[in-house]
A and B are shown apart, each in its own frame.
Chain A
Amino acid sequence: MSKGTVVLRGRKVVGGCAEGEALVTHQTISGWGGVNPMTGTVVETRHELRGVSFKDKVLVFPGAKGSSGWSAVFHFARLAGTAPKAMVFNEMTTKIALGAVVMRVPSVTELDRDPLEVIETGDWVKVDADKGVVEVRKAAQRKAS
């Protein structure tokens, strides 16, 4: 394994494997009223990802907040083809668990290191949710190689 690769271990939320570019936020995400599922874009006023799309990204975030429409909105995102490829998060709640289930994307939580400290936007992240393994190739390393 190359020097620029970091491996985190955690618990499967929803199984499966996926990889993609990381989109990292240190702020929790609101589903209903916080994202537009038709475009996969965060719309919440004052959110650091406002206007940014999570479509096809590996979404790395603290967890869900806000309305009980969280699962339905991310469910709509799956139907509209704008869902993230995988999710890595810290805070387990009913909103995010149900959202991950109906989005049907590989999801992992309870990692042995804080993913928000390790992963930065632009890193390449491979999620093997069945094994609970998250492999991170740092963007800086990717550019250098």
Chain B
Amino acid sequence: MKLTDAEQAMLDGREGKARQKAMELLVRYGEALGAERFVDTNNVAGVPGSSTPFLENYYQEPGNRYDVIFSRFDLDSDEVVEVPRAVVHTCHLQGGVDPDNWQVLGATPEVARISRESEVAASGRDVRILKTCTPYLAGNVPVMGEHCAWMESSAVVYINSVLGARTNTEGRESTSAAMLTGKIPDFGLHRDENRYGTHRIEVETDVESIMDWGMLGYFVGDVVGERIPVLTGRFSSPETIRYKHFGAAAASSGGVEMYHLVGATPEAATLEQAFGPKRPVETIRYGKAERRRTYETLNANAHDPNVDYVMLGCPHAALEQIQEICALLAGKRISSKCNLWIFTSRAVRAVADRDGLTKVIRDAGGVLLTDTCSAIGQALPPGTRVAALDSAKQVHYLPAIMGIEAWFGTTRDCINAALTGRWQGEAP
């Protein structure tokens, strides 16, 4: 890699030990990628120094706990260094536990304590503790062309495609190193030539609800893998929530980090702009049959209609989604055989609390939780066997991680399941 004088100074240790270790990791990473240089970034989203019982137990050595874990794990360093404040704007993505409702999640006091302590330590180093997979709904909205270093596949695909910002899917180690250096390898989506479409998807059936968008995303990710799909056809111009569900699904069944919706997303005013100098390698049709097949795939693991858990808020629910849920729940009680957990960010929860939405959910027997979700936190209500979900991403992950059955349907199907304890969703 070609380093600037300032980057070389960091690598040589002239900016302190921690930044040297961060630079060493970034150079190893850049060389592995085959990148030639770094880009500057002033917008990092990661999980810097976030601790777990496994890490606490693994790194039993003297010294400041945050420094030990950040050095050994985040920077993959063979020595422990003192971790300074972030040098660029850095926010913390989702964590493992809700600090106010950890008991609801079944967490141990130890887990809650470890989470709280690493959060305080990160905050002391100027990391903004957003604790959400949707920073773009909680105060971090990158602008067109801004070079970012973000983790969280659903957020990465959102800011690239919908906002026109530039990030690859970074990992924990690279974001923590970027927080201390303001550098990330100039690779992939940071470069114009890699942002053009590769595959054309012709949408020939109506796509409207968030369930529709989730299915379309799941289908697209499966067929294009890590490539860049360009969608044309029968979709209503989507808004934030639909983009959120589409991208999250496409980044789960495949590795989609960028997509174009012709006439809607900022780098795709026309088909020509979306493909640039490239020609589509393939054109794929998404019609009724493909939608049906995707629905069946997403429901393939569910057999028992008796639902004992409904989880909403993957990716974290926007305020509008919480309002919709409240409208469906108002004045009703969920089944005594079922639990309803809804996950969102702290920022949205603060508004929901003051708006009375949290109370509507509570009065109906549900809980509004923050910071985490059932997959990230690996937390289910005791005895859960069958879940109902409105997120294709969550259906992809939760049964695999927790060994349960899961139904996929609309938000309304899920609330109906919570109210009756039975799955009555139908194929669209």
Contacts and interface: CB of A to CB of B under 8 A. Distances in A.
Interface of A: 11, 13-14, 28, 33-34, 43-46, 63-72, 75-76, 79, 91-95, 97-102, 104, 107
Nearest to B397: A33
B401 A33 contact: yes
Interface in B146-205: 150-153, 156, 168-174, 185, 187-188
Contact of A98 (B58, B174, B397): B174
Name the 4 nearest CB pairs between A and B, nearest first.
A71-B171, A65-B255, A97-B32, A68-B151
Nearest to B93: A68
Nearest to B251: A66
Given A69-B172, A94-B171, A97-B33, A44 B255 contact: no
Interface string B390-405: 0000001101110000
Contact of A64 (B29, B54, B173, B255): B255
B73 interface: yes
B118 interface: no
Contact of A91 (B172, B226, B251, B252): B226
A94 B375 contact: no
B173 A98 contact: yes
B337 interface: no
A62 B181 CA distance: 32
Contacts of B169: 68, 93-95
Contacts of A45: 300-301, 396, 399-400
B206 interface: no
A138 to B, nearest CB: 28
B207 interface: no
Contacts of B292: none
A94 B153 contact: no
B238 interface: no
Contacts of A63: 226
B279 to A, nearest CB: 20
Contacts of B185: 94
Contacts of B225: 28, 65, 91
B25 interface: yes
Most buried by A among B32, B34, B73: B32
Given A44-B400, A98-B32, A93 B255 contact: yes
A75 B54 CA distance: 12
Contacts of B301: 45
A37 B188 CA distance: 27
Given A63-B226, A67-B153, A100-B32, A72 B171 contact: yes
Given A28-B225, A93-B226, A94-B33, A72 B255 contact: no
Nearest to B175: A68
Contact of B187 (A71, A94, A99): A94
A98 B29 contact: yes
B226 to A, nearest CB: 6
Interface string B246-272: 000001101100000000000000000
A76 to B, nearest CB: 7
B256 to A, nearest CB: 9
Nearest to B47: A72
A98 to B, nearest CB: 4
Contacts of A14: 28, 32
A12 B151 CA distance: 25
Given A33-B397, A67-B251, A98-B170, 12 more contacts: A13-B32, A14-B28, A33-B401, A43-B400, A65-B226, A71-B172, A72-B172, A75-B172, A93-B188, A94-B185, A97-B33, A101-B28
Nearest to B167: A94
Nearest to B151: A68
Contact of B34 (A11, A99, A102): A11
Contacts of B400: 33-34, 43-45
Contacts of B58: 79
Contact of A68 (B25, B33, B170): B170
A101 B255 contact: no
B76 interface: yes
Most buried by A among B29, B171, B187: B171
A126 to B, nearest CB: 20
15 contacts: A28-B226, A33-B397, A43-B400, A63-B226, A65-B254, A66-B255, A69-B172, A76-B54, A95-B169, A97-B32, A98-B29, A98-B32, A100-B32, A101-B32, A107-B32
B183 to A, nearest CB: 14
Contacts of A68: 150-153, 156, 169-172
Given A68-B152, A68-B156, A100-B32, A94 B168 contact: yes
A79 B72 CA distance: 11
Interface string B290-328: 000000000011000000000000000000000000000
A64 B156 CA distance: 16
Most buried by A among B153, B254, B255, B300: B255
A66 B397 CA distance: 10
Contacts of B397: 33, 67
A78 to B, nearest CB: 9
